[in-house]
Amino acid sequence: MTLYRTSGLPEDLVAPVMIAAFDGWVDAASAASATAEHLSRGGDLIATFDADVLYDYRSRRPVLDIIDGTLTRLTWPSLELHRVRFGGRDLLILHGAEPDFRWRQLGDELLDLCLRMGVVQWISLGAIPAAATHARPTAVLATASAPGLLHDPETQGPDGLLRVPSACLSAVEMTVSGGGVPAVGFYAHVPHYIGGPYASATLALVRRLAGHLTIELPEGTYEEDADAQRARLDAAVDADDDLREMLDRLRQDEDEADVPSGDELAAEIERFLRAQGGPGPSAG
């Protein structure tokens, strides 16, 4: 029994690319999942995946709406595949909650889907906490399954061995690329102290995708949202000498041992904003 359901796969795809983003792990500030949701908006739903098989509802509980004392609606975690077309080519957007189970089977079935639809490349989207500040442009780290897949290979890295707990997305990507579909990944750097949506990271991913695919992609209001959020954070920093000193060290000191921790930065900004009676730095 397959993990997905479809009413029929499209047969008129033009140079299709599969773009995947799951929420949760490797999705700091929800930047990657926000990118996928933004790009898939208005697209055609071509496949859904079996949530009862993929998710542990005790660790990822459905959201219950109670209106006027009546249990009204349950919103279940989901994983969906949408088709959109930009610049004369098709993007297949796989997005939703990171699965708890069946990672290997999911990878095998997504590889089969990619081969059946003639997918020419897999692109993973993610976002990771980094020793960075909101004052600088958001950096995007890239990975590639083979040399020559990136237009800007200098962004690939990091050098040497990096051993981390894997996301489901990475496990699936390795299965797909191992089956012959070239794969790249783009991971936006999110300042440690950003706890909620971060428009700059989402905008950076949209623009990196557009540049990689050499097509125009809609940016929505992300540029304006990023400017507004940066202004709010600048105001918090300018009004607090200790916080400003910490962020200056973060910008200037390349010695990682001397960089203040993410917890220190978050605590300083949250302390200031609480004192001002305003929202935390994660406020959109």
pLDDT digits (tens, 9 = 90+) for 73-127: 999 999 999 999 999 999 999 999 999 999 999 999 999 999 999 999 999 999 9
Residue ranges per structural domain of the chain: 4-219, 224-275
Going by pLDDT thresholds of 50, 70 and 90, the confidence category of residue 273 is low
* CA–CA separation, 283 and 198 (whole Å): 9
Cβ pair 213, 219 in contact under 8 A: no
Dump pLDDT digits (tens) for 33-84: 999 999 999 999 999 999 999 999 999 999 999 999 999 999 999 999 999 9
Of 93, 100, 117, the closest CA to residue 218 belongs to 93
- What the block records as the tokens of 159 is 């050098």
The answer to whether 50 touches 102, Cβ cutoff 8 Å, is no
* Range from 129-138, 255-264, 270-279 that averages highest in pLDDT: 129-138
Token couple for 161:
């061995």
Residues 6+ apart with CB under 8 A from 274: 280
Length of the chain: 284
Q: What is the pLDDT of residue 139?
A: 92
Across the chain, where does the E strand assignment appear? 4-5, 17-22, 44-49, 63-67, 70-75, 79-86, 89-96, 121-130, 140-144, 183-191
pTM over 0.85: yes
Architecture of domain 4-219: 3-Layer(aba) Sandwich (3.40)
pLDDT at 154: 67
Helix extents (H) in 30-143: 31-40, 51-54, 103-117
* Distance, CA of 62 to CA of 73 (rounded, Å): 10
Burial class (CB in 10 A: 0-12, 13-18, 19+), 67: exposed
How far apart CA 59 and CA 56 sit, in angstroms, is 6
